[in-house]
A and B are shown apart, each in its own frame.
Chain A
Amino acid sequence: MQQTEAIASSPTQHLPLSQRAPFRAVQRALFYLMMVALALIFAGPLLWMLSTSLKTDPQVYTVPPIWIPNPIRLVNYPEALSSRPFEIYTYNTLRYALGAVAGALISNTLVAYGFARIRWPGRDIFFIICLSTMMIPFQVRMIPLYLTFKNLGWLNTYLPLIVPTFLGVNAYYTFLLRQFFLTIPSELSDAARVDGCTELGILIRIILPLAKPALAVIGLIQFMFAWDNYIGPLIYLNSEALYPIALGLQQFRTMFQEELMWPYMMAASTAATAPVIILYFFVQRTFVEGISITGLKG
Chain B
Amino acid sequence: MSQQWTPAQTRSLLKGLAFISPWLVGFAGFVLYPIAASAYYSLTRYDVLRPARFIGLENYVELFVKDETFRTVLGNTVYLVVVGVPAGLVAAFLLASLLNRKMKLRPLFRTIFFLPVLVPAVASAEVWRWVYNTNYGVINSVIKSWGWAVIPFISSMELAKPSLILIHVWAQGTAIVIFLAALQDVPSSLMDAAEVDGANALQRFWHVTVPICTPAILFVMLTGMIGMFQYFTLGWLLTQGGPNESTEFFSLYLYRNAFQFFKMGYASAQAWILFIIILAFTLLIFRSSARWVYYAGESD
Contacts and interface: CB of A to CB of B under 8 A. Distances in A.
A49 interface: yes
A218 interface: no
Given A63-B136, A121-B9, A144 B38 contact: yes
B35 A107 contact: no
Contact of A273 (B114, B118, B275): B118
Contacts of B229: 137
Contact of A298 (B112, B218, B250, B259): B218
Interface in A11-60: 18, 31-32, 34-35, 38-39, 42-46, 48-49, 52, 60
B22 A266 contact: no
B193 interface: no
B10 to A, nearest CB: 9
A42 B112 contact: yes
Interface stretch (B23-31, B58-66, B80-88, B156-164): B23-31
Contacts of A1: none
B47 to A, nearest CB: 12
B141 A65 contact: yes
A181 to B, nearest CB: 11
A212 interface: no
Contacts, number: 277
A159 to B, nearest CB: 12
A3 interface: no
B244 interface: no
Given A139-B254, A140-B38, A250-B122, A147 B19 contact: no
B170 A45 contact: yes
A145 interface: yes
A39 B176 CA distance: 14
B254 A42 contact: no
B43 to A, nearest CB: 13
Contact of B15 (A118, A126, A224): A118
A292 B271 contact: no
Contact of A169 (B30, B37, B272, B274): B30
A194 interface: no
B126 A249 contact: yes
A196 B122 CA distance: 52
A166 interface: yes
Interface string A237-272: 000000001100110010000010010011011101
A141 B30 CA distance: 8
Interface of B is mostly: helix
Q: Place the interface of chain B in its size category.
A: 35 or more
B199 interface: no
A154 B136 CA distance: 44
A42 B23 contact: no
Contact of A272 (B33, B120, B254): B120
Most-contacted residue by chain B among A224, A270, A297 (CB, 10 A): A297
B127 A31 contact: no
Nearest to B94: A38
Nearest to B145: A64
Contacts of A34: 98
A76 to B, nearest CB: 14
Contacts of B35: 136, 140-141, 144
A49 B116 CA distance: 12
Contacts of B185: 296
Nearest to B35: A140
A120 B177 contact: no
Interface of A: 18, 31-32, 34-35, 38-39, 42-46, 48-49, 52, 60-65, 107, 110-111, 113-115, 118-123, 126, 129-130, 133-148, 164, 166-169, 174, 199, 224, 227-228, 230-231, 235, 245-246, 249-250, 253, 259, 262, 265-266, 268-270, 272-273, 276-277, 280, 284, 288, 291-292, 294-298
